[in-house]
């Protein structure tokens, strides 16, 4: 076979890359290597509908099993790449098999940061939530009346807290920073989300740190806090961020810095090796970014595939995200990095709000809380490259902004 493509990682980015190749007519041999025992699937629902039992796993599959056979895409499940020999152009797997490649694609994703064992991170009942196995284990422990401790007030932790309350658990969220969502949203958005959770009975403790988790016979029973308090807990979810899976790339001599460094065509420092998705750090404006989102994984995967076969150009991301908590939907368009001003505006219905972000007088992002029109408007404006000032948003209907 000529010019084989090997994709290490079997998530959204990998599936998007393979799908785009076939959609554009490429017949190059493709092999996807995934360390989980299942076909590529959607991860965002794991902390939402799947965890609460509203979606079965087969509904999470990115493509039906028959697609891979029909499109001559081989998926090796339950296998792990252990080394890359760039001179011989082969990827070694944990069972001793070697896969020859003309193009290697690293779609290795990211791994949740864990609490160290010395402070109880290895106790039974302490979870992270990243893959199906995590969600399955956590689901079995989600029983009404049990006490859940969520460590970290980011989106994954807060989504898990919402599901837990829906299932009848008692929930406490602990956040080291002075407010939840400190890294990803403005204070006004954090206020809306905090109020939502407190309305549903979640206890949120900010500016609070854990000294250690404590347990009996190896199982979690609670947490000791810096202020001397002890909180009882039957289980805990650790949501303190993720680290890009760049070890394989670094060991093979590729350029790595908080992710695998790539150019606008997803090429690493070795032009025969690409990196896409959560593991990749790429140019965005005047800086390098990693975008930990399913939207970026999909878009970058497709763009990299098109560029590889000469049917596409530079990847220009148009970031958007979302978070479902209870019956509320938070939709985010753009990146708020570097903002110097915000504007909170109420939507047309009770409980709908938008938090607009500005830098140097121009709108750069929005957090739309039960306000889809604000999200759609901002997304279209950003994609069109239109410069919209705060005064325009304050004084004009959304439809006029698009005119």
pLDDT value at residue 163: 93
pLDDT value at residue 3: 94
- Looking up residue 90, the CATH number of its domain turns out to be 3.50.50.60
Give residue-wise pLDDT tens across range 304-340.
999 999 999 999 998 999 999 999 999 999 999 889 9
- Looking up residue 335, the CATH number of its domain turns out to be 3.30.390.30
pLDDT value at residue 366: 97
The last residue of one of the domains, among 261, 278, 308, is 308
47 Cβ neighbours under 8 A, 6+ residues apart: 129, 135, 156, 159, 160, 163
Helices (H) and strands (E) in the chain, counts: 11, 26
Same domain for 58 and 133 = no
pLDDT value at residue 44: 85
Same domain for 234 and 128 = yes
Q: What's the half-sphere exposure (Cβ side, CA atoms, 13 Å) at 23?
A: 12
β strands within 320-371, DSSP E: 320-325, 328-334, 341-346, 353-359, 362-369
pLDDT value at residue 303: 97
pLDDT value at residue 134: 92
Report residue 37 as tokens: 């025992």
Residue 111: enclosing H or E segment and its boundaries?
strand 110-112
Same domain for 130 and 211 = yes
In a domain, 183, yes or no: yes
pLDDT value at residue 48: 79
pLDDT value at residue 46: 85
pLDDT value at residue 147: 97
The residue range of the domain holding 234 is 114-238
Same domain for 198 and 181 = yes
Same domain for 121 and 82 = no
The last residue of one of the domains, among 278, 308, 338, is 308
pLDDT tens for the chain, 403 residues long, are 479 999 999 999 999 999 999 999 999 999 999 999 999 999 988 887 888 788 899 999 999 999 999 999 999 999 999 999 999 999 999 999 999 999 999 999 999 999 999 999 999 999 999 999 999 999 889 999 999 999 999 999 999 999 999 999 999 999 999 999 998 999 999 999 999 999 999 999 999 999 999 999 999 999 999 999 999 999 999 999 999 999 999 999 999 999 999 999 999 999 999 999 999 999 998 889 999 989 999 999 999 999 999 999 999 998 999 999 999 999 999 999 889 999 999 999 999 999 999 999 999 999 999 999 999 999 999 999 999 999 999 999 998 998 7
Same domain for 92 and 172 = no
Give residue-wise pLDDT tens across range 168-218.
999 999 999 999 999 899 999 999 999 999 999 999 999 999 999 999 999
pLDDT value at residue 11: 95
- Pairing outcome for strands 362-369 and 170-175: unpaired
pLDDT value at residue 47: 82
User: Contact, 210 vs 174, CB < 8 A?
Assistant: yes
């Amino acid at each position: 076979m000529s010019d084989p493509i090997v994709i290490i990682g079997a998530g959204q980015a990998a599936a998007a890359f393979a799908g785009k190749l076939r959609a554009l007519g490429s017949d190059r041999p493709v092999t996807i290597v995934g360390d989980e025992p299942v076909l590529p699937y959607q991860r965002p629902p794991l902390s939402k509908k799947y965890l609460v039992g509203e979606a079965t796993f087969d509904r999470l599959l990115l493509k039906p099993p028959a697609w891979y056979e029909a499109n001559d895409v081989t998926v090796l499940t339950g296998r792990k790449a252990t080394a890359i020999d760039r001179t011989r152009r082969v990827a070694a797997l944990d069972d001793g098999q070697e896969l020859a490649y003309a193009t290697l694609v690293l779609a290795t994703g990211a791994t949740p940061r864990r609490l160290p064992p010395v402070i109880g991170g290895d106790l039974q009942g302490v979870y992270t939530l990243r893959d199906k196995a995590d969600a399955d284990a956590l689901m079995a422990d989600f029983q009404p009346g049990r006490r859940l401790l969520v460590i970290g007030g980011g989106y994954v932790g807060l989504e898990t807290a919402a599901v837990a309350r829906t299932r009848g658990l008692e929930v406490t969220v602990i956040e080291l920073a002075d407010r939840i969502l400190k890294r990803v949203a403005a204070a006004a958005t954090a206020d809306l989300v905090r109020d939502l959770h407190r309305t549903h009975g979640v206890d949120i403790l900010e500016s609070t740190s854990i000294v250690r988790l404590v347990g009996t016979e190896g199982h979690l029973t609670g947490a000791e806090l810096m202020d001397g308090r002890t909180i009882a807990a039957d289980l805990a979810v650790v949501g303190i961020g993720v680290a890009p899976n760049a070890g394989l790339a670094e060991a093979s001599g590729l350029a790595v810095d908080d992710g695998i460094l790539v150019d606008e065509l997803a090429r690493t420092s070795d032009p025969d090796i690409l990196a896409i998705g959560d593991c990749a750090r790429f140019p965005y404006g005047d800086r390098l970014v990693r975008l930990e989102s399913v939207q970026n994984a999909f878009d970058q995967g497709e763009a990299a595939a098109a560029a590889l076969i000469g049917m596409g150009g530079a990847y220009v991301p148009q970031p958007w995200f979302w978070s479902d908590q209870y019956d509320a939907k938070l939709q985010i368009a753009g990146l708020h990095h570097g903002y110097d001003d915000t504007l909170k505006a109420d939507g047309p219905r009770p409980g709908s709000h938008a938090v607009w972000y500005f830098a140097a007088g121009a709108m750069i992002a929005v957090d739309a809380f039960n306000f889809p029109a604000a999200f759609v408007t901002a997304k279209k404006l950003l994609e069109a490259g239109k410069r919209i000032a705060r005064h325009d948003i304050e004084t004009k209907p959304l439809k006029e902004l698009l005119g």
